[in-house]
Amino acid sequence: MIIIIAAAAAAAAIILLNVVGVFGDSESEEPLVIVEEDIDDTDDADDTDDMDTDEAAIEVDVSGFNKGWPSEGIPSGFPKYPNGDPYYDNIMAGMILIVIINTDQKTFDSYLDSLKDFGFAFSPVTSAGVHEGEVDGWGIGAMYREDEKSVRITVYSIGTGNGNEGNSGGDSGSTPNDWPEEIPVYPEGKISVGGSGSDYINITIKDTSQATMDAYADLLVEAGWELVLTDKSANVRGYEKGDRMLSLGMMMNNTTVTITIQNGQWAR
């Protein structure tokens, strides 16, 4: 799937994996799979025993991406994918997308083991085949596409939990002390805030729901944030208020919401 989200830092950033701050199941039309056939003209038309049929991998659109493995925007010592052709794009501050083409399932499975050895703790794989994990203030989403022989890896910064976590909602709930004043408090879930007080803020809310995120979207509008972007396929909404831009989205597990705030405006 190819989802295009425009931002001030990148007029057209191509997101090939629904992760971080931005994410729900989506469906999209895919290019026609080309089937190559070698047929012996001397055979009877009804005899297909000598026909070789190979499916060509669907071409992945990496236009606008940087070729190679990223040197910034990933954790120090982050494992490098062992084969294939890597491309990457800095979607926005604190989030990077890596796409590897010309690879295979076996290599991807081995790479997941490398990520676990690095320290990533993974949740059960989603129904869409996405592997989501966290380590020391970083989150990751990774998946393999057999039809494209490709891998998508999204890496993003999250709160470290050093005094930045809290629970919202309920009589015993509490909100992190560094929740940004420029947005309403999220009404439920386990909250982690990263970068509060800086130009870039990333908030992760676990144990929440789509209905609560939809209600929170209304709270943002009431607080003066203008809705300027809606991507239903990626379950992401973009807002602006003054010189600040905000993204609100649901991850593919449908229980985690991310909010990202930074300077700038969404490209129209």
Residue type, 182: E
Which residue carries 């800086």 as its tokens? 198
The dihedral built from the CA positions of residue 267, 183, 97 and 57, taken in this order, carries a sign that is negative
Residue type, 75: P
What's the token pair of residue 76?
């120090």
- The DSSP letter of residue 217 is H
Please answer whether residues 129 and 139 qualify as being in contact, where contact means their C-beta atoms are separated by less than 8 angstroms: no
Residue range 23-64, pLDDT digits in tens: 333 333 333 333 334 444 444 444 444 434 456 778 888 888
Q: Do the domains 3-29+58-157 and 165-263 sit in the same CATH topology, yes or no?
A: yes
Rounded to an integer, what distance in angstroms lies between the CA atom of residue 210 and that of residue 99? 28
Q: What is the pTM of this model?
A: 0.56
- The DSSP letter of residue 72 is S
CATH code for the structural domain at 165-263: 3.30.310
Is it the case that residue 253 has pLDDT exceeding 80? no
Name which of 83-97, 126-140, 159-173, 244-258 the model is least confident about: 159-173
Name which of 90-99, 115-124, 181-190, 199-208 the model is least confident about: 90-99
Is it the case that residue 237 has pLDDT exceeding 60? yes
Rounded to an integer, what distance in angstroms lies between the CA atom of residue 247 and that of residue 227? 10
Is it the case that residue 133 has pLDDT exceeding 80? yes
Averaged confidence pLDDT in the chain = 74
Rounded to an integer, what distance in angstroms lies between the CA atom of residue 196 and that of residue 208? 21
Rounded to an integer, what distance in angstroms lies between the CA atom of residue 57 and that of residue 194? 39
Averaged pLDDT for residues 8-29: 32
CATH topology of domain 3-29+58-157: TATA-Binding Protein (3.30.310)
Rounded to an integer, what distance in angstroms lies between the CA atom of residue 64 and that of residue 35? 28
- For residue 165, the SS3 value is strand
Rounded to an integer, what distance in angstroms lies between the CA atom of residue 168 and that of residue 152? 32
Instruction: Show the DSSP H helices in the chain as ranges.
Output: 105-118, 210-222
The fraction of the chain above a pLDDT of 70, given in percent, is 68
Residue spans of the domains in the chain: they are 3-29+58-157, 165-263
Rounded to an integer, what distance in angstroms lies between the CA atom of residue 235 and that of residue 26? 8
Name which of 75-79, 171-175, 191-195, 223-227 the model is least confident about: 171-175
For residue 130, give Cα distances in angstroms to 140, 148, 243: 10, 15, 34
pLDDT value, residue 171: 33
Q: Is 16 exposed, middle or buried (0-12, 13-18, 19+ CB in 10 A)?
A: buried
208 closest CA partner among 197, 199, 216: 216
pLDDT value, residue 144: 94
